[in-house]
């Protein structure tokens, strides 16, 4: 028996990166995937990839997770097509970097809208369906929400991701009486289109970033989706309000090198 047989899952950001990987893997576990993305053609390609493997997916139309009408339509079409919603996977985030001394408020607000407001909006509009299904919410935070960074000027990103982690705990609190679970996944450095534009870009001031990650490699979208599948499945039926960090130890182990001999501190 597949882990998500017949469950209806809404996944945002299915055109690329972690969202596409999530759509493919959730469908392979038997879920009925309702995807959406600003990049509608690429999201449709994800739908075709799922269909080719014998899975079920629907991509109702272009989705803008920062726009209330767009999200309302998306949620409504999912519920109409499949009779309800069991899982909401709010994957989309978009970032504008900039130091606190120079970032225009517009860029800060853009990052908060895409990274935080979008999660609230999706959860808010899907909530009645989750109450009916005793469903679950997966949000995507980041290690940026847990640590500061000397390398990236990312006050907006850190603020939005930290707030996603906090919002998820509150969703867990308000969801518990309805049997709704809410959990956050916080990736570290994951190889996607998004990160190739910044952390993994050739000109980035921290080349060879993998050397600084305790497990010695950058993560893949499937590393993140493995955690998401677990949290969405019945195997995690007693887990809510958690923030599962998927970062190869990046945020919890101090940088350094193993010494050849013991030093007294
Ligand atoms: N890649 C990383 O290293 C990393 C690390 C930590 C957290 N994250 C988080 O993981 C999530 C996925 O990141 P990714 O690296 O796969 O990103 P990505 O940039 O590769 O893909 C993001 C997708 O979201 C879509 N999108 C952007 N704005 C949208 C909007 N307003 N409405 C609908 N779709 C929109 C894009 O078109 C794209 O398909 C994000 O929340 C991101 O903040 C990523």
Query: Among the residues of 134-251, which ranges form H helices?
Result: 155-175, 193-196, 221-232
Give the distance, in angstroms, between the CA of residue 166 and the centroid of all CA atoms in the same chain: 14
Report residue 257's pLDDT band, with 50, 70 and 90 as the boundaries: confident
CA of residue 194 to ligand 1 center, whole Å: 6
CB distance 158 to ligand 1 below 6 Å:
no
pLDDT the model gives residue 190: 96
Question: Which carries the bigger pLDDT value, residue 71 or residue 263?
Answer: 71
- Tell me whether strands 32-36 and 8-12 are parallel, antiparallel or unpaired: parallel
Q: How far, in Å, from the CA of 195 to the mean position of ligand 1?
A: 9
pLDDT of res. 202: 78
| Local structure of 169: helix, strand or coil | helix
C-beta of residue 90 within 8 angstroms of C-beta of residue 120: no
Who has greater pLDDT, 201 or 52? 52
Give residue 142's Cα distance to chain centre.
Answer: 8
247 ligand 1 Cβ < 6 A: no
Non-local CB neighbours of 243 within 8 Å, separated by 6+ positions: 141, 165, 168, 183, 184, 185, 186
Ligand 1 atom nearest residue 113's Cα: 31
Q: What is the pLDDT of residue 203?
A: 78
DSSP alpha helix (H) spans, the chain: 17-28, 40-52, 68-82, 105-112, 118-133, 155-175, 193-196, 221-232
Cα first-last separation, the chain: 54
What is the C-alpha to C-alpha distance for residues 186 and 141, in angstroms, rounded to an integer?
5
pTM exceeds 0.95: yes
- Residue 265's pLDDT is what? 60
Question: Looking at residue 180, what is its pLDDT?
Answer: 99
Decide if 37 contacts 18 (C-beta within 8 A). no
Ligand 1 atom closest to Cα of residue 14 = 39
Least Cα distance to 23 among 73, 70, 89 occurs for: 89
Judged against a pLDDT cut of 70, whether residue 8 lies above it is answered with yes
CB distance 92 to ligand 1 below 6 Å: yes
pLDDT score for 15: 98
Q: Domain 8-246, what fold?
A: Rossmann fold (3.40.50)
Could you tell me whether strands 181-187 and 243-246 are parallel, antiparallel, or unpaired per DSSP bridges? parallel
What pLDDT shows up at residue 195?
Answer: 87
Residue 59, number of CB atoms within 10 A of its CB:
26
Write down the pLDDT at residue 226. 98
- Look over the chain and give the mean of its residue pLDDT values, rounded to a whole number: 95
Residues 63-118: tens digit of each pLDDT: 999 999 999 999 999 999 999 999 999 999 999 999 999 999 999 999 999 999 99
The pLDDT score that the predictor gives to residue 120 is 98
pLDDT in tens, 27-50: 999 999 999 999 999 999 999 999
Stretch among 132-136, 218-222, 235-239, 261-265 having the lowest mean pLDDT: 261-265
Check if the beta carbon of residue 204 is closer than 8 Å to that of residue 232. Answer: no
Backbone φ/ψ region at 141: left (φ over 0), alpha (ψ -120 to 50), beta: beta
For residue 41, count other CB atoms closer than 10 A to its CB.
10
Question: Which residue, by CA, sits nearest to atom 2 of ligand 1?
Answer: 190
Res. 259: pLDDT tops 90: no
What's the pLDDT score for residue 127? 99
Of the candidate ranges 126-130, 169-173, 197-201, 228-232, the one whose mean pLDDT is the lowest? 197-201
Q: Give the count of alpha carbons within 13 A of 36, CB side only.
A: 26
Percent of the chain with pLDDT over 70: 98
CA distance 19 to 263: 46
Cα 74 to ligand 1 centroid, rounded to whole Å: 18
Percent of the chain past pLDDT 90, that is, above it, reads: 86
Question: Would you give the distance in Å from CA 84 to the centre of its chain?
Answer: 22
User: Residue 245 in 3-state DSSP?
Assistant: strand
| Dihedral sign for Cα atoms in the order 91, 96, 98, 102 | negative
Q: What confidence tens digit (pLDDT) does each residue in 57-76 have?
A: 999 999 999 999 999 999 99
Question: How many other C-beta atoms can be found within 10 angstroms of the C-beta atom of residue 265?
Answer: 3
Q: Whose CA is nearest to atom 30 of ligand 1?
A: 64
């Amino acid at each position: 028996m597949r882990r998500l047989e017949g469950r209806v899952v809404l996944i945002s950001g299915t055109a690329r990166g972690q969202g596409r990987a999530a759509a493919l893997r959730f469908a392979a576990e038997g879920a009925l995937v309702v995807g959406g993305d600003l990049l509608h053609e690429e999201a449709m390609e994800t739908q075709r990839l799922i269909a080719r493997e014998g899975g079920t997916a629907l991509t109702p139309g272009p989705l803008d997770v920062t726009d209330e009408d767009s999200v309302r339509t998306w949620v409504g079409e999912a519920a109409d097509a499949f009779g309800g919603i069991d899982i909401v996977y709010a994957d989309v985030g978009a970032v504008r970097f900039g130091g606190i001394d120079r970032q225009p408020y517009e860029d800060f607000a853009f990052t908060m809208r895409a990274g935080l407001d979008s999660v609230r909006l999706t959860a808010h509009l899907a909530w009645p369906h989750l109450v009916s299904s005793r469903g679950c919410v997966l949000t995507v935070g980041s290690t940026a929400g847990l640590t500061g960074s000397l390398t990236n000027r990312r006050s907006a990103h850190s603020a939005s991701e930290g707030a996603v982690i906090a919002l998820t705990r509150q969703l867990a609190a308000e969801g518990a009486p309805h049997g709704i679970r809410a959990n956050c996944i916080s990736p570290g450095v994951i190889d996607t289109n998004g990160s190739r534009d910044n952390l993994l870009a050739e000109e980035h001031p921290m080349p060879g970033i993998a050397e600084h990650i305790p497990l010695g490699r950058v993560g893949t979208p499937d590393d993140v989706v493995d955690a998401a599948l677990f949290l969405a499945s019945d195997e995690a039926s007693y887990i809510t309000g958690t923030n599962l960090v998927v970062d190869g130890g990046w945020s919890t182990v101090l940088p350094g090198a193993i010494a050849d001999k013991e030093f007294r501190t």
